[in-house]
Amino acid sequence: MNSEYKSIIDRIFALSEQLGNISIMEVCGTHTASIYKYGISDVLPKNIELLSGPGCPVCVTSQIDIEKVISLLRYESVTVCCFGDMLRVPAGDNSLYKMRENGYDVRIITSPLDVLNLAQQNPNRIFVFFAVGFETTAPLTAALLESAKEAGTSNLFVYSAHKTMPNVLRALFSQSNEIDALICPGHVSAITGRRGFEFVAHELNMPAVIAGFGAKDILIAIYYILKMLTANEAKCINAYPSVVREEGNTIAQSLISKVFEPSGAYWRGIGYIENSGLKINSEYSEFDAEQHFEMLYQEANENAACICGEILTAKKKPTDCALFGTVCTPYSPVGACMVSSEGNCASYYKYWKEASWLIL
């Protein structure tokens, strides 16, 4: 093992001896994937447990949102556009992937602005972008709407399932809390700034560290957390200063504010949370799919054996699920956590047999 990593791990062990059992939640799905990839849990003291939170935007997209978007495909002139990892997310026995297999027009895009190009090239069709993601991707959707308005595009609409991080964390931790500290998402923090997660320390009285995504970044974040816990401190530390500034990306923040306004949102496995979503505001309502189309849907029941909700709230791990790795795999996902590369179950499935810690 690299001596630099060994030094950090030795310091983590020294601090852990002063503490009892500690649970740390990594909020971001990319952190979850890195933790499994590098086998970080395997080199930590036994009293330090890493648990995943609701940081995969695909995983927390509700069945209601998916079913509403699927309902749009009953209009023959409608094309639904989405990122690739939304295709296989199940809504009961259905999904956008199954709709595409059955001949409906569902297209994968790599950038929201691809939808504008499609709309301009195909004026006789209607294009609906299924917009998901946290503060990181919301500016891209806002840029799409701003560009569509400037171009006078009339055959483009957006269904916004965007969500924001602060209020879901408040909802999870304001009443009962078995988590001792948070590793905060580097991508979201690049937009919100360190100040965007200051509430974790000030309101929730929990240590928080904004971290990058390498093995060293995550180990340093754990070290800072243990250092705060041993000193009985609750601060929000920016350990990713190369990307995250104190005030964040103010241009992206302004773009979000220009196009969206806060709204309630349904989180898969968690439920309805006030002011945790982003809806299109009145100035851009001409592009709001919910206002333009009648959406008929009936929420399907989740598979009773799937425990994605408990995994997303750090109550259980993928291996606690009876379906994991047998009935439920990335090739035939039963639950949302097995779909996206940021999903806890998908990440664990990919790396559970052989972590890559030896590359360090």
CA 250, 255, 257, 262 dihedral sign is negative
- 0.85 exceeded by the pTM? yes
Bridging pattern class, strands 78-82 and 208-210: unpaired
Q: What residue spans of the chain are helical by DSSP H?
A: 3-16, 29-37, 63-71, 96-101, 113-121, 138-151, 166-173, 186-192, 198-202, 215-230, 250-259, 289-292, 308-312, 344-351
The three-class DSSP label of residue 6 is helix
* Rounded CA separation 350/330 (Å): 9
Domains and CATH numbers, the chain: 63-165+248-292 (3.40.50.11740)
The total of other beta-carbon atoms located within 10 Å of residue 231's CB is: 12
Query: Which tens digits make up the pLDDT trace of 142-193?
Result: 999 999 999 999 999 999 999 999 999 999 987 667 899 999 999 999 999 9
Provide DSSP, 84-143: GGGTT--BTTB-HHHHHHTT--EEE-SSTHHHHHHHHH-TTSEEEEEEEESTTTHHHHHH
Query: Which tens digits make up the pLDDT trace of 117-142?
Result: 999 999 999 999 999 999 999 999 99
The total of other beta-carbon atoms located within 10 Å of residue 355's CB is: 17
* Rounded CA separation 44/196 (Å): 29
The total of other beta-carbon atoms located within 10 Å of residue 325's CB is: 15
Query: Which tens digits make up the pLDDT trace of 28-48?
Result: 999 999 999 999 999 999 999
Over 90: is that where the pLDDT of 199 sits? Answer: yes
Predicted local confidence at residue 177, as pLDDT: 72
